[in-house]
Every structure is written in structure tokens, then in C-alpha cells.
Amino acid sequence: METVSLPHWPTHSLLVGQYMNLQTTPSTVVVHSCNKAPYRLQNHTPQAIKPVLTHRPKRKGLGRSANHTRCLVPINTSASGGSSDLLTTGCGSKNLKFGFINIRSLATKALLINDLILDHGLDMIGLCETWLKPNVFLPLNEATPPKYSYAHVARAHKQGGGVALIYRDIFNFTSNLENKFKSFEALVLSSSSSAMHSLSPFYMVVIYRPPGPYSQFLDEFGEFLSGLVTHSEQILVFGDFNIRINKADDPLNKAFSNLIDTFGFTQSVQEATHCNGNILDLALSKGIVVSDLTVLSATSAVSDHFLIKFEASLACPVSGGTDVITSRHIGPSAVAAFSQQLPGVLAPLTVETGSVENLTSSLNVALSSLLDTVAPLSTRPRRLKRSTPWFNEEIRALKQACRRLERQWRKSKLVVFYLS
């Protein structure tokens, strides 16, 4: 794991190959904080830092570039300056505002995406078909508002493609660099609970599947989900799958629906997301409650795909302060003090008369009082362990067997133990 630290710039760490053991080709992931210089890591080796600092012009009236005319909407300052639901809701769960759109060339629409984020108060927005090369950062800088960051995976060897996520700086995401598949593009980000205002860790995935044969996609996506669900209880996957979910007789729709049902995902989009009337862009969730999902067809001027906007409720872990453990520290000094004072405590009981129950009760009270004196009870908070319902007794037994075979192989170096 390598981290590039820049003076006065937030440092992001890129997590390499954390949750899957697939034979994939590493792709370039850019993690960037707005108005700061991006850096990139490729093949697990830090590359040269390539700063791209942008000047944000005042937006009044119409702005024209070499290729198109941008219709700039005035920024809603209340949306950009207000606090997110993430910071205001109570314990138990917190609501976040998400968005997704197939942008079809971010270079010509970067400022429009910036305005969409601010106008709708989105905490994060997923983009696909950015059509950006690996070393092109300017459109991403322009699309990212202040106090936001982005992560991007570019299609390196052919035209088109590319997936990105623009999110608030309060999210401490780490990115997996080994998500290069033959049938689809994926950006996988995992959150850290320490910087998430007490949110439980969760995974964000942005997908783009180009049209074409789907047998390989079903195999790769099934293997992808099988690795993902073993590492998180809260997963949100959205993207352009190019699957006509609205066509019940579509073979790909049937196979895909069975696949996501197998892994316990819920598909929430029920309205057309493309100008031809099909549902191509999907939002899959596991362990996350999706609500207030709307498809904004007004964004057809931006792309032939519509903007999907929804809220999601993420769980908060139980506070460690509410769960305490009580214990005594019985060291040599406590044992010596107990032995020294014990005869004096037992002396009055030798002349006491009564039933066996009363004498036993008196003895217990005397011994407890003496123990509280020499080794008083102390309490301390205990951090609750993360729930892992998938880790059952069968998996525990398999893990123990694996560790036993590993020890035998390290000791004997016999191939039979290595293969086992």
C-alpha cells in the first residue's frame, strides 16, 4: 500500500486488492479533492504527481466553449451551503442523497454536472461514459464543487467508457485498483467508519456495461458480487447496465434478476431512464434502504439518459459507550491484602448462631465486602464487534482447517499440504 502525501492537500489512501482475489488487470484510479491536484497510482506504484489547478469563473449568462454552448443555471447557495442530512439526523440510521446519470462525455458537460450536484444537494453522484482518458483531469475538476472529491476509472485502451463518483469530502473512501473486467467497467469504493460521522462502513460501486453479448457478463458480475457481499453488509451499486428491466420476456433481464436475487440485492428503479422508454440504469442495494427515488426526464438536454435521484438510509453502529464491561484487578498486592484481612473478617462469624442459610449469607456478604475493599469493581467501555452474520460455524470450521493445513505446509513443505 502506497500513499502520496501533498502539503496542504488531503491525503487519500488507495486500497489495493482488498476484497477480491480475481485474475484482473490493474486499472488507473484517480482520487482527487476539489481544487487540489490529483494524483494517480497504476500497477501499485506511485506515479509522478500531475497537478491540475483550475480557475472557477463567475457564471453569469451564457458561456461558450469551442464545441458547445453551456446553459449555466445560477447556483442555489442554500443547497451548497446547507448541512447534509448526514450531519443532522439522529442515531440508528442517517439519510444520504444520491444521484446517477450516464453523462456521455463529461468534457462538454462538466459545469452542468457541478450545478446538478449543488441544485439537488447531492451527497454523491455516480457518472458513467465519462469518455475521459487516464491523464485527463480538467473536466473532473470542473464537475467537482468545493468541499467535494472524486474517484475515476478511465478506459485506457479504447474510446468511450469511464466511470466516476463525485462525493463530499467528509467521506473517507478507499479505492480498489483491481477492477478491470472484460464485460463491464467498475469503480469500487469502501468507506471508513472513523471518518463517517458514526456511519457503519459501506461499499459504493459504479458500473457501466456496454451493449453486447451477456454470457460473460453474468459470469463476471456473479463472481464480482460473491466477493463483495462477504466484506460488507451495506452495499450500493448503481450504473448503466444496458439491461431492459422493463421487458419481462428479455432473457438477459430474467437471468440478471435471478442473479441479484441470489445475493440478496434489491433493484429500485421502476421508471424509464432512457429517452427510448427503457429502464437501463439501475440502483441495486443490499442492507441499505432506498427511498424517494425519482427519475428526472428534464435532464434529457444533458444526455439521452435521465438523472436518477434517491435517498438511502445507512445504519449507524451502536455506540461503544453504551456497552461496558465490569471487572476487578486482582494482583499480588490485592491477594496479600485479602489474606491479611481475612482472619479479622471471619472472627465475628465464628460466634454467630443460626440456620445454615443465614450463616452462608453472612459469610458471602463478609467476603464480598472484603473483596470490594481490596479489589473494587471498575467499568470501562467496550467497542462492539462488527456483525458478520455470514460467518457461521461451517465457515469457522473451514477456516480452522485451512489454518491447520497452512501450519503443516510451513513446517513440512510438502506439496500435498500446499494443495490442500
pLDDT in tens, the chain (420 residues): 444 333 333 333 333 333 333 333 445 666 665 544 443 333 333 333 333 333 333 443 333 333 333 333 333 433 344 444 454 444 567 889 999 999 999 999 999 999 999 999 999 999 999 999 988 999 999 999 999 999 999 998 888 999 999 999 888 888 865 667 899 999 999 987 544 456 778 999 999 999 989 999 999 999 999 989 988 889 999 999 999 999 999 999 999 999 999 999 999 999 999 999 999 999 999 999 999 999 998 888 889 999 999 999 887 654 444 567 888 888 999 999 999 999 998 888 888 888 888 889 989 999 999 999 999 998 888 776 666 667 788 888 999 999 999 999 999 988 888 888
Burial classification of residue 293, based on how many CB atoms lie within 10 Å of its CB (0-12 exposed, 13-18 middle, 19 or more buried): middle
What pLDDT is recorded for position 281?
97
Task: Please check whether residues 149 and 253 belong to one and the same domain.
Answer: yes
CA-to-CA distance for 161 and 156, rounded, in angstroms? 9
What pLDDT is attached to residue 300? 83
CA–CA separation, 55 and 77 (whole Å):
19
Identify whether residues 412 and 340 lie together within a single domain: no
| Nearest Cα residue to 79 out of 38, 123, 39 | 123
Spatial CB neighbours of 249, under 8 Å, sequence gap ≥ 6: none
Helix (H, G, I), strand (E, B), or coil: what is residue 395? helix
What secondary structure letter does DSSP report for 170?
T
In 84-233, which ranges are E strands? 93-102, 124-128, 148-153, 163-168, 173-175, 185-191, 203-208
pLDDT of residue 387: 61
Are residues 326 and 311 both part of a single domain? no
> What's the pLDDT at 5?
38
pLDDT at 386: 61
* 4 located within any domain: no
Among candidate residues 315, 338, 366, the one where a domain is terminated = 315
Question: 275 and 414: one domain?
Answer: no
On whether both 304 and 328 belong to a single domain, the answer is: no
Residue with cell 486488492: 17
C-alpha dist (Å) from residue 273 to 106, 118, 195, 260, 303: 18, 21, 34, 20, 11
Judgement on whether residues 299 and 177 belong to the same structural domain of the protein: yes
Q: Do residues 124 and 196 lie in contact, with contact meaning Cβ atoms separated by under 8 Å?
A: no
For residue 157, what pLDDT is reported?
84
CB neighbours of residue 308 within 10 Å: 25
241: left (phi over 0), alpha (psi -120 to 50) or beta: alpha
What does the block give as the cell for 341? 484481612
Distance, in Å, from the CA atom of 230 to the CA atom of 214, rounded to the nearest integer, reads 25
Rounded Cα–Cα distance for residues 244 and 246 (Å): 5
199 and 248 part of one domain:
yes
How far apart CA 224 and CA 205 sit, in angstroms, is 11
Using alpha carbons, select from 386, 268, 382, 266 the residue that is nearest to residue 316: 386
pLDDT at 385 (0 to 100): 66
Phi then psi for residue 334, to 5 deg, are -65, -40
Q: Is the torsion defined by CA of 123, 127, 132, 133 positive or negative?
A: positive
Q: Please report the pLDDT score of residue 11 as a whole number.
A: 33
Domains identified in the chain, total number: 3
Cell of 109: 458537460
Q: What is the pLDDT of residue 68?
A: 38
Of residues 124, 130, 135, 80, the one with CA closest to residue 110:
130
Q: Which grid coordinates are listed for 419?
A: 494443495
Q: Report the relative pairing of strands 289-296 and 307-315 from DSSP bridges.
A: antiparallel
Q: Are 114 and 187 members of one domain? A: yes
Backbone angles phi, psi at 227, to 5 degrees: -75, -30
Q: Is residue 97 within 8 Å of residue 148, measured between CB atoms?
A: no
In whole angstroms, what is the distance from residue 170 CA to residue 150 CA? 12
Query: Is residue 68 situated within a structural domain?
Result: yes
Question: Is 1 a member of any domain?
Answer: no
Task: Please give the single-letter amino acid code of residue 289.
Answer: V
- Shared domain for 123 and 62, answered yes or no, is yes
* Residue 57 sits in the same domain as residue 179: yes
Pair 287, 164 in one domain: yes
Domain that holds residue 358: 320-381
Residue 64 belongs to domain with CATH number: 3.60.10.10
Same domain, 217 and 329: no
Q: Whole-prediction pTM value? A: 0.61
- CA torsion sign for 395, 396, 397, 402 is positive
Q: One-letter amino acid identity for 147?
A: K
